[in-house]
Chains A and B, each alone.
Chain A
Amino acid sequence: AQKITQTQPGMFVQEKEAVTLDCTYDTSDPSYGLFWYKQPSSGEMIFLIYQGSYDQQNATEGRYSLNFQKARKSANLVISASQLGDSAMYFCAMREGWNFNKFYFGSGTKLNVKP
């Protein structure tokens, strides 16, 4: 079964608007960590934000926030005030506590920010 599911292959958003990228996960481990990475056209993977399974509050990093809904097993990334430079591929990922060496990634969402 897929550990990480990203159902939006591509998304468009108008500059300065907010956008939500969906991510659902599947694990039976009570201890896990959720990550979002950005991959611009240059290819490198840039870490954006982290949420631990025991964290009580949603993680925030600047314009990025993670809408963590544990019961629904979702970890959506919210980007506020989109900028042209936000156009990139976005990957949701998870690590499980019993084997935290492995990242499980989704298939990614291609975000295009329109001027």
Chain B
Amino acid sequence: EAGVTQFPSHSVIEKGQTVTLRCDPISGHDNLYWYRRVMGKEIKFLLHFVKESKQDESGMPNNRFLAERTGGTYSTLKVQPAELEDSGVYFCASSQESDGLNTEAFFGQGTRLTVV
């Protein structure tokens, strides 16, 4: 079975441009999460979807970030316009419906975004 896949693996864009990151969760996983790691820092929570609904978006840095999950399958994270401080690795994770403390979240390989 395919794991969580993210596209692209790397993206280099200029400040002010728009970038869209995509995440395909494991089939059947209702929970989808976005996380971000800025260089050398901890991985930080951005938001959580349950199916197509945003359950918690308290980690989204500002309104330049827009996440969607139409149809409850794949998700996109758009940054518009991108700023230098948006550079980092964006991780997507998914988990099954019975989400509890010990439910494992499966992570993708991440998208490395560099804004120049």
Minimum CB–CB distance for B12 against chain A, Å: 16
Known: A43-B9, A44-B3, A45-B91. A103 touches B45 (CB 8 A): yes
Q: Enumerate B34-51 residues with CB–CB distance to A below 8 Å.
A: 35, 37, 40-45, 48
Question: CB-CB < 8 A to B42: which residues of A?
Answer: 2, 4, 104-108
Hey, what's the 0/1 contact readout for A73-89 against B, CB within 8 Å counting as 1? Answer: 00000000000000000
Q: Which of B68-84 contact A (CB under 8 A)?
A: none
Cβ distance B10 to chain A, nearest Cβ, rounded Å: 10
Contact B108 A44 (CB under 8 A): yes
- Pairwise interchain contact B99-A101, C-beta atoms closer than 8 A: yes
Interface flag for B14 (CB, 8 Å): no
A52/B102 in contact, CB under 8 A: yes
Tally A-B pairs: CB < 8 A. 67
Interface size classification for chain A: 20 to 34
Interface 0/1 of B81-116, CB less than 8 Å to A: 000000001010100000111111111111000000
* CA–CA, A43 and B107, complex, Å: 10
B101 contacts which of A43, A47, A100, A106 (Cβ < 8 Å)?
A: A100
Residues of A within 8 A of B (CB): 2, 4, 31-33, 37, 42-45, 47, 50, 52, 91, 93, 95, 97, 99-108
Query: Could you show 16 A-B contacts with beta carbons less than 8 Å apart?
Result: A4-B42, A33-B101, A33-B102, A43-B89, A44-B108, A47-B104, A101-B31, A101-B55, A101-B56, A102-B45, A103-B45, A104-B45, A105-B35, A106-B42, A107-B40, A108-B43
